[in-house]
Amino acid sequence: MKSLAAFAALALASTTLAQAQSPEYMIEDCANNGAIFFQDFEAKSETKYEGQRTDGTHAVNGTIDLETRSEDFQCSYNAAGDTLVDFFAEGKSWPGFVRGEGSPHQSDSQGGGDAAQGSGAPGGLTAEVQFDRGKSGARLSGTITGNDYFDYTLGAKEGQTMSVDLKVAGTNGNGTIYFNILPPGSSDVADYIGSMDGNSARMQLRQSGVYTIRVYLMGNDRDTDKTVGYTVDVSIR
């Protein structure tokens, strides 16, 4: 007869498996992360669920066919199967990518220029927007000083509607802050320019991929290194 401890362990394992995300979810999410990492949203990729390791994490292996080569990558998910905990590609692990610091290939493609026009500038930071499970939106917050800017990246599909609302949350200047929305693959040309169109955007997306919401200062606040606090409400539906 099995002991009570054995029955308890079996019940706990069953509960964990019941609550875990499906392999199909992890397969699709890993493919999306592969496209984001290599910054190629048209490339064909194949991903396969390899099972749960002894430490409880789940493994998904993938291959993406880029324009000039094929690359292998691997995604590791937590025991619940709903959070990426490691991404392995190009011979090493990329913890910064997992933390939402952006793709190294995305960073390489950004050029110099005037942040107020939506292109890269010294002091720029990047973060990946991740909605909580079951949610279609999030509130972001931060501060911008002078020529700095902040890029928020998030994936979306053609035909979805992106909503972005920017509000000032304190400043030692005039609070002259705006955002631009850059389409997939762009480091400077914007689909939406806040300094001309205002700080509330509702736009239907024309293509699938990773969009960038770039927050920046203009005018005297930028030129005299003033600091502006802000909140950004963003949703995809």
- For residue 102, the model assigns a pLDDT of 65
Indicate the domain borders of the chain. 4-100, 110-236
The model's pTM: 0.50
List C-alpha distances in Å: 103 to 35, 143, 183, 184. Answer: 10, 23, 16, 13
Q: Is 227 exposed, middle or buried (0-12, 13-18, 19+ CB in 10 A)?
A: middle
Q: Tens digit of pLDDT for each residue in 81-128?
A: 888 899 999 999 998 878 766 678 754 333 333 322 333 334 578 888
The Cα-based distances of 151 to 38, 42, 102, 172, 180 in angstroms read: 18, 23, 10, 22, 9
* 37-79 pLDDT tens trace: 887 767 889 999 999 999 999 999 999 999 889 999 999 999 9
Whether residue 215 has pLDDT greater than 60: yes
Across the range 213-226, mean pLDDT stands at 91
Per-residue confidence band for 142, with pLDDT thresholds at 50, 70 and 90: confident
Contact 36, 210 (CB under 8 A): yes
- Among the listed residues 157, 197, 162, 161, the one whose alpha carbon sits nearest the alpha carbon of residue 179: 197
Task: Please report the pLDDT score of residue 101 as a whole number.
Answer: 63
Q: What is the pLDDT of residue 106?
A: 56
Averaged confidence pLDDT in the chain = 81
CATH class of 110-236: mainly beta
Residue 111: what pLDDT?
Answer: 34
8 pLDDT above the threshold of 60: no
- Give 9-29 pLDDT, tens digit per residue: 333 333 333 346 789 989 988
